[in-house]
Structure 1
Amino acid sequence: MNTGDPLMALDELLDRFSTGQAGGEILGSAEATAHADSLAPRAGELEVAYSLALLHHYRVIAELPADHGRDDAMLALRHFATVFRQAPDLVPDGVRDVVSQVSAVTQQDVGEWHQRAQRLLRDERRFAQPDLYLDARLLLQLVLERLTGDPARRLVCLTQLAMANIGWFEATGDLDALDGAIDAARDCVTTTPAGDPRLPGRRSNLASALATRFDHTGTVDDLDAAVDLLWLAVEESDPRERPGHLANLAGALFLRSLHRGDAHSLTAAVDAAWAAVDSAAAGDPDRHKLLAALARAARTRFQRYGALADADTAVEALREAAAAVDPAHPDHAGHQSALSTALRVRAGGVDRGAAAADLDSAVAAARAATASAGGGAGRRARHLSNLAAALSARSRARDDPADLDAAVRAGEEAAALVDPAEPGSAAILANLGLVHRRRAASGGVADLRAAADAYARSGQVTTAPALVRTLSLTDAGECYAEAGEWPAALHQFRLAIDALGGVIDVRLHRDDRQRHLSQLTGLGSEAAAAALESGAAPAEALALVEAGRGLLYAQTLTNRADLARLHALRPDLAGSLTTLLRLLGGLDEQARAEPDPRLFHQRERERDRLLDVVRALPGFADFLEIRPASRPSLPGPAVVINVARHRCDALVVIGDEVSHAELPQLSYATARDDANRLLRAVSEPDWSTAGELRAVLADLWDRVALPVLDHLEARGWAAADRHVWWIPTGPLTVVPLHAAGRDDGTDTSVMARTVSSYAPTVRALAHAAERMRTATPVTAGTSLVVAVPDPVGHRPLPETSAEAADVVRRLEEAGETSVTTYLGAAATRADVLAALAGSRWAHFACHGASEQNPADSHLVLHEEVLTVRDLAELDLRQADLAYLSACTTAFGGADLIDEAVHISSAFQLAGFTHAIGTLWRIGDADARLITAEIYAELLDRRPVAVGVHTALARLRQRYPDNPLLWAGHVHVGP
């Protein structure tokens, strides 16, 4: 017992009572009374008043009798009133309201409260003792209630109140505190006069809080408002403050890129973050935050585009950021966790030795992050999930089951902590699904089911990005399928297909939509297979495969129809919206050449506003959203060859009936092998690989064509019909099913039994057929012939001039009165596009190129190119046939095989009823030969498909040993 200092001695007595070491009698002891009496002359001092107030307060709680007439309750209130005037945060909650009513508080007292709050916000202990933020918040709230006649101080208090709420939120994850921070920051911004030099910083603070709330709730309006505020803050700010605003802008744009999946926001985020780091002054205490913003964006850009320099930037930036802050700082664990992710991601792009070192460092950094006790459950869940990912990656590299077991444990702990309402919980649950799925590879059915359940939970997080949800639902379906639980698999696949609308939202750039769909290849086919395994009707399986494929095609058709409908009602809205969609969709050349990130964002906001206006109109609620197709009216039997992981089938549509034929000899593996064998065989433009190509065509006959044709005949397919529309999926989209057959001298071939055409989907075929039925018959019109014999920068094509002359002569002999010809240098992009708008018939003899991004696939003109993107802008009304005598004009590549995005489909989408294209490269002399054969049939007034078939069959008979010559040409259309 300390007897020298009565205050210390009294405090020891109070502590013994409050901790339960002594009963209430110690408060009524002579010793306690003596200490209180000796302290009475100093009752105006804060510490003394506080201890005396507690003494009397505890006596009331302990129900001690009054001592010599003293009223402990009254004395407690009197002393607490003294405390209240100096430090109201020390007054117990239940007493404070009473005391505040009887205390005569002066403006000087209010000023002291403010100073105390400021000291608490600067206190170095606040990270370890986050209750200090609560005390500061209370003080600031009281200041704002009592402050009079000082608007400048009020604005400062609002800023600090937001800081106190943010500090408490970061320590605990309390969303109410985050809401309080936003309310205070917004009040501060709206009441700060225009031109005040502190306004940019206040805008930035509000934006940062809004972006944080979006990250935890998924409220998109918060994020859009944050980006608006930050562009203003960057523009208005003093150069010394600009780095912080740029970093906040980078963070908000980064979140936007994650949520929408758009590359434009990601690029703008990287640029803003670099600008923040480069412009920061030496010794800037917030440099670690600038570096963290740069690292997040650079790492994500590496994941998208694979530039190793971005991964290196992320790793080095985070190492510097983590080293710059004390381990007790709340950002330190976040930097370590982010460093773990950056190292793990970089390991996928470096050599084996460097990858091993990166993975070891990733695990160490993640463990350091999880060792931190701060940040609340949500932050700890993210750190644990990153640890699980690092351990899982290292286990895969080393084939170490111990690491994988540890990854599962970390992932399970993370999943137990997440709030399913937070957008980030979807990624954490998906990560858990991945580690269980990897462990299931060693034979664990329980892990497979656990993976499926985790993925399914991830897909149920409605605030998460659409792509994350759809991928998780797809993964859940695949895991249930692998476990043989087909109804559960079908349910998840259906949910994934239902979520596709968000993945290809019209607000996204076309390239972003393509990228998203490339990650979901096969979804419709897997859903159809699950439906058949579950005993569903073939019609349901067909509806699923259709709903998961050809979405960009269907979206273009929907957009055109909806914009035309809007134009009839509100031409002003339709015109403005069409212009914005072109500017933001990458269709405007100037917008592509001079991307202004702020202008881009402003246009996005205006587009979103107009969409809200349109969708509020009667009958326009689903404007620009793909809707289920009506019952298709087809020109003949359509055969969807559904290639899935667990089974392959033909879904056959004849009239209103949908049937299916199992294809037991076909599997995903054999389809993939056939496609790869064919691509290798056609890569050499000579006869050297003809034997391999013939073997592929024979296998396709046995595995696909023969069972399909037999099924058709069994369903009553009449010989007079003799026309089939093939709709292949998966790897078979690159193979010539129309040329399948054996070269043994018999009629065991598709060509011997039927005429063949192709379509991307049943929906696309039905649309083309309907357009052909309802279009005004065209008896005459302009024909366009384009030939480019000497393209700049490409191999010469000397035969194209002769081919063009042949075509012009044949057209004129057939009675065509208007033929426009562009040869060589005359074939400019602008003139060709203008001529297409009035052409019924178009013939191109030139180079063609299929690009990795199929929207960039193109026909080569003299000095320019005509791209799929260019053709997507056209909406021609009376176009009939596009003959594309060029390489790979019907080849869509391997990355987006479900979408059939290639030059031939682009011409059909532009309005041409029919397109004739090629699946592989073809020499210009061969192209001229085939053109002559096909035109001899077409200009004899045969139907296009029949003319192509007859010509190719004749060439097959003439060159039976060389299918490379004749098998690559296809007809696309009704």
Structure 2
Amino acid sequence: MLCSRFELTGELSDIMEAIAVQKRAVGLTPQGDADLPAILNNLGGSLTRRFERTGELSDIADAIEVQQKSVKLTPQGHDPDLRGRLNDLGGSLTHRFRRTGELSDLVDAITVQRKAVELTPQGHAHLPAMLNNLGNSLTRRFERTDRLSDIAEAIVVKEKAVELSPQGHANLPLALSNLGQSLIHRFQRTGQLSDIANAIEVQQKAVELTPQAHPDLRGRLNDLGSALTHRFERTGELSDVVDAIVVLQKAVELTPQGDANLPIVLSSLGSSLARRYERTDELSDITDAIKVQQKAVELTPQGHPNLPGRLNNLGASFTCRFEKMGELSDIADAIVVRQKAVDLTPEGDAILPLVLSSLGNSLTQRFEQTGELSDITDAMTVQRRAVELTPHGHPDLPGRLNSLGVSFTRRFERLGELSDITEAIVLQQKSVELTPQGHASLPGRLNNLGGSFHYRFRSSGEIRDLEETISRYKTGSTSSVSSPRAKLDAAQRWAHILIQYDPQSPELIPAFDTALGLVAMVAGLEQTVRGRYTRLGDTSGLALGAAAAACALDRPDKALEWLEQGRCLVWNQLNNLRTPLDDLRIQDEILAQEIANVAKELETAGSSRVQSHVDMSLSEKIPLEDEARAHLDLAKKWDALLGKARAIPGFGSFLMPRPCSDIMSHLPESGPIIVINVDRRRCDALALLAGMDEPLHIPLPIFSIDKARKYRTIFDTQLRARKLRAREDLSAHRVLRGLWEEVVKPILDALGFSEPPRVWWCPTGPLSFLPLHAAGIYGGENAESVFDYVVSSYTPTVTGITDRVKNPHSIESHASGLFLTSQPNTTSAPPIPGTTKEVQSIFQRAEESGVRASKLEGNEMSVAACLERMKEFSSIHLACHGSQNAAEPLQSRFLFHQGDLELGTILKSNLKNADLAFLSACQTSTGQEALSDEAVHLAAGMLAAGYRRVIGTMWSIGDAPAQEVATAFYEYLFTHRDEASGSAFDGSPSAVALHRATQQLRLSLNDSEHSLLTWIPFVHFGL
């Protein structure tokens, strides 16, 4: 009774009381009593159950002793009793083997369990359980000896156990779970995908059939999570590892402290978190992985056979974090724990090749960092041994060959011995040959092989090696594997090798097409906005390099396409989620509505889904993982819906990267958009003029990325020390003159303007931080500047303008007007003395001009009130503090007394009448250097929110100049409005208005360094 209750509740006091009662019964039963064998067997069962819970070795030793005595005392011919006692003894022997690793226990267990099965008649209710137990022991022996015959037999007897277990029987979930475990083991040995698919299927069923309160649920969740992780490692399907983490977190949550199984589920969870980190680069995952794996190791008793595996997994996580952070202490820790794993693994154990190869990998990585030759020598020694111990046909053999090949390559880099790189190529070729198509590791192994061929080419000059290099990178980038990061690495290498050795190769076009297409997958919609920006940091400059290559090939059309596809990716994703669906609704209204619904959910998930962090408890993280899985499902549904839309005639390119002809089909008539590409190899301008089929290509041979960076440094220096006397070569004058002579004037000369037009500047790279709108020579007889020739605006992308030209919107009459707000002081920022006066002056002029206007100041303003006014008025003037968050751009904000208005909140507000936003705050158009082509600033965010034109500032502005420019800006708009417009407010002349207002300020000052830095920061974005 007590034992049954313990099995249902897991309450330790029940089994302890049961053991006490049974020991007393044994003591009271005389030798030779017919009941003694049964009483002994029952006591053995209870001791085994307590061992399963506590891991106390004395319990399992005592259990085996009394069960052996029970079997010995059971008379031959008493088959019903004998088979049960043999089965129980076999189970206890297997438990002790799992704790001590003593192979003789397992051999004895299999012997007695086979006999128990033989004694059990067909159709007997206990036969499924006995088959299951025999199968488990055979599986354990396979784990130790790697004999395929054992795992094959284990699967056969477990399949029979499942087949013989009636539906609804309590043993069926156990039989299914155990079958799944054996299928996983065979998958790990043979790599057959059908085995892991079947394992997941039966384990999911086992979980579904296990009651929520059942103590075995946590173990079955652990097995399911491990199976999903294994499949992710094979296929790279992100949903598998996300699902694994969800079920493993639940398994950990259900496992009580002190339970002997807690280290198992902790280690499994850590491995899954580490695998996801390798895919997503989310630092909290690898931090959490290390934390739970350290705890798993701490809770594992010394001498436990699973300790080496857990140490090895912990070492893998330390190694992952080292790769990300570069901290030598992490790789040192990885080597320590992996060396201990090797030391604790007995000869002949099937795990020995794994821990040897893993130790070698960590030693190689430390060598890459320190150059210590002993590390690479030791690495190759243990990796060779791992390869020798791995049987032919084992699915881990390709990985171990690849690792040894990498070590040979690293030693070649250091010593230059041609034999090393030749050996590396031999090993890596064999690794690639043995890796199944569709394996998630294939692109990475092709990359390594391609790299080795490249090293040998550079040493020997053999063209064949260069051809092999290109071939391997191309194959890796175009494989069918769902591993975008590895494929992107291959594509980038493919393109860069071609640029280096054959810059006129026609293969550059498919290489960069492939690479840029993969960027969108690496930073996919299943991630939060922050996660996408994190992934994009590694691809900075890819689109610029592609455009430079296209210009060298005289393909300005491809240059434009690639720049539009590869820059401002996150804003473009947001734009796609908000794309008008009117044409699609005509064809399929239901599909269009589904797309609209999923788009809205994806936008919300991307901007507001909470990310886990290291300070959260496990219970707090469980619902976050559920949200992450739902987010991934949304992204998959989005892709499926786009596939349906593209199957409709005429919608084949729906929301796909635009061809040049499409990009240029709605250019503004009032002037060109000028894209300036800045790359380390060359700089070019692409002028887009209405009526032309492709961009006008204007090379900029005397400008360079180094000059752009130098000019950026000079400007930053002057802004930090405005009152210092500037040296001529380190002055703002020098920068503006350089921009004029090397960039702007060559472009204007090529265009040959006869009268001042509008110009939209679309700079890239470090040029994004420099004031093209102010380029010129100031002072002296030869003074001239861009102000003399054009009215300048900026745009983050070409489509940011053409989409607005293509989709003009009429502002509803009730919404046309101007809303002004000032926040001269907040709790988190210093006062802005002139803002109240600025707003009051503009508001007064608006009323005098008959313009519908409203203002809120200081404590009158709240976030809700501001949002209401933004919906109510087409234009807004925000005179307040701004806070830019480059890591999480949607959390960039405007600071009010009554709270902060985040950009993400504005984006969700559906401002369909938005027209003009004047951001009279500091640094509202300042980006971040690491993400220069992602436009992570407030001005770009307001464009994304729907405003057609935005006034921003490139750096901090003075109170008086800010007020002067704002006042003059609105004065121009008020005096040039159509008198027939009634109380409407028209922001369309805003670029000219800012041009005039800035010019007015400029002319009131001299041409000193300080004066230049006073008027230059005001910039116009949009139409």
Q: Work out whether the TM-score is over 0.5.
A: yes
Could you tell which deviates more after superposition, 124-133 or 688-697?
Answer: 124-133
Runs of 5+ unmatched residues, structure 1: 1-84, 90-99
1:762 aligned onto 2:791? no
Deviations 1:423-475 (A, max 9, x none): 11122222334455567677958565544333222212222322332232122
Deviations 1:877-918 (A, max 9, x none): 223322223332112111112221211111122122211122
Q: Distance in 2 between matches of 1:770 and 1:428?
A: 46
Q: Distance in 2 between matches of 1:149 and 1:580?
A: 40
Q: Distance in 2 between matches of 1:563 and 1:322?
A: 60
| Counterpart in the other structure of 1:732 | 767
Deviations 1:86-120 (A, max 9, x none): 9999xxxxxxxxxx9xxx98979999977765554
Q: Distance in 2 between matches of 1:868 and 1:916?
A: 16
Q: Structure 1 residue 732: deviation in Å?
A: 1.2
Q: 2:913 aligns with which of 855, 878, 885?
A: 878
Q: Superposed, which structure 2 residues align to 1:119-518 within 5 Å?
A: 119-123=137-141, 126-127=144-145, 129-138=147-156, 140=158, 158-179=176-197, 181-182=199-200, 185=203, 188-189=206-207, 196-220=214-238, 222-223=240-241, 225-237=243-255, 239=257, 240=259, 241-259=261-279, 269=289, 272-273=292-293, 276-277=296-297, 285-297=305-317, 299-301=319-321, 303-304=323-324, 314=334, 316-326=336-346, 328-341=348-361, 366=383, 369-370=386-387, 372-374=389-391, 376=393, 378-389=395-406, 411-435=428-452, 446=463, 449-485=467-503, 486-518=505-537
TM-score of the aligned structures, taking structure 1 as reference length: 0.77
| Counterpart in the other structure of 1:841 | 875
Question: Counterpart of 1:523 in structure 2: which amino acid?
Answer: L
SS of match in other structure, 1:725:
strand
Query: 2:672, 2:759 within 8 Å by CA — same for their partners in 1?
Result: yes
Q: Superposed, which structure 2 residues align to 1:634-713 within 5 Å?
A: 634-635=667-668, 636-657=671-692, 658-686=695-723, 688-689=725-726, 691=728, 692-713=731-752
Q: Superposed, which structure 2 residues align to 1:955-974 within 5 Å?
A: 955-957=1001-1003, 958-962=1005-1009, 963-974=1012-1023
| Counterpart in the other structure of 1:599 | 623
Between the two proteins, the alignment pairs up a number of residues equal to 869
Are the structure 2 counterparts of residues 661 and 314 from structure 1 closer, same or farther at C-alpha, using a change threshold of 3 Å? same
Are the structure 2 counterparts of residues 365 and 219 from structure 1 closer, same or farther at C-alpha, using a change threshold of 3 Å? same
Query: 2:815, 2:872 within 8 Å by CA — same for their partners in 1?
Result: no
Q: Distance in 2 between matches of 1:134 and 1:615?
A: 40
Q: Structure 1 residue 756: deviation in Å?
A: 1.0
Q: Structure 1 residue 215: deviation in Å?
A: 1.6
SS of match in other structure, 2:231:
helix
Q: Distance in 1 between matches of 2:806 and 2:899?
A: 34
Q: Structure 1 residue 223: deviation in Å?
A: 4.1
SS of match in other structure, 2:951:
strand
Q: 1:895 aligns with which of 921, 930, 936?
A: 930
1:907 aligned onto 2:928? no
Q: Distance in 1 between matches of 2:860 and 2:345?
A: 65
Are the structure 2 counterparts of residues 291 and 709 from structure 1 closer, same or farther at C-alpha, using a change threshold of 3 Å? same
| Counterpart in the other structure of 2:98 | none
User: Over aligned residue pairs, what C-alpha RMSD do you find?
Assistant: 4.5
Q: Distance in 2 between matches of 1:776 and 1:638?
A: 29
Are the structure 2 counterparts of residues 860 and 374 from structure 1 closer, same or farther at C-alpha, using a change threshold of 3 Å? farther
Runs of 5+ unmatched residues, structure 2: 1-109, 978-988
Query: 1:690, 1:964 within 8 Å by CA — same for their partners in 2?
Result: no
Q: Distance in 2 between matches of 1:304 and 1:612?
A: 28
Query: 1:881, 1:915 within 8 Å by CA — same for their partners in 2?
Result: yes
Q: Distance in 2 between matches of 1:699 and 1:400?
A: 48
Query: 1:262, 1:508 within 8 Å by CA — same for their partners in 2?
Result: no
Query: 1:455, 1:473 within 8 Å by CA — same for their partners in 2?
Result: yes
Are the structure 2 counterparts of residues 614 and 396 from structure 1 closer, same or farther at C-alpha, using a change threshold of 3 Å? closer
Deviations 1:673-694 (A, max 9, x none): 3334433343333463484222
Question: Counterpart of 1:966 in structure 2: which amino acid?
Answer: W
SS of match in other structure, 1:627:
coil
Q: Superposed, which structure 2 residues align to 1:496-645 within 5 Å?
A: 496-536=515-555, 538-561=556-579, 577=598, 580-581=601-602, 584-587=605-608, 596-607=620-631, 621=645, 626-629=655-658, 630-631=662-663, 632-635=665-668, 636-645=671-680
Q: Superposed, which structure 2 residues align to 1:47-126 within 5 Å?
A: 119-123=137-141, 126=144
Are the structure 2 counterparts of residues 679 and 489 from structure 1 closer, same or farther at C-alpha, using a change threshold of 3 Å? farther
Q: Structure 1 residue 178: deviation in Å?
A: 3.8
Q: Distance in 2 between matches of 1:305 and 1:859?
A: 33
Question: Counterpart of 1:207 in structure 2: which amino acid?
Answer: G
Q: Structure 1 residue 709: deviation in Å?
A: 0.9
Could you tell which deviates more after superposition, 396-405 or 935-944?
Answer: 396-405
Question: Counterpart of 1:853 in structure 2: which amino acid?
Answer: A
Q: Distance in 2 between matches of 1:367 and 1:378?
A: 17
Query: 2:595, 2:638 within 8 Å by CA — same for their partners in 1?
Result: no
Question: Counterpart of 2:219 in structure 1: which amino acid?
Answer: G
TM-score of the aligned structures, taking structure 2 as reference length: 0.74
Query: 1:836, 1:842 within 8 Å by CA — same for their partners in 2?
Result: yes
Question: Counterpart of 2:990 in structure 1: which amino acid?
Answer: V
Query: 1:449, 1:483 within 8 Å by CA — same for their partners in 2?
Result: no
Query: 2:886, 2:936 within 8 Å by CA — same for their partners in 1?
Result: no
Query: 2:176, 2:206 within 8 Å by CA — same for their partners in 1?
Result: yes
Identity %: 27
Are the structure 2 counterparts of residues 571 and 496 from structure 1 closer, same or farther at C-alpha, using a change threshold of 3 Å? closer
Deviations 1:843-892 (A, max 9, x none): 33444454442615444445865444444434322233222233321121
Q: Distance in 2 between matches of 1:910 and 1:932?
A: 25
| Counterpart in the other structure of 2:72 | none
Q: Structure 1 residue 759: deviation in Å?
A: 0.5
Deviations 1:21-79 (A, max 9, x none): xxxxxxxxxxxxxxxxxxxxxxxxxxxxxxxxxxxxxxxxxxxxxxxxxxxxxxxxxxx
Could you tell which deviates more after superposition, 426-435 or 735-744?
Answer: 426-435
Q: Distance in 1 between matches of 2:199 and 2:591?
A: 42
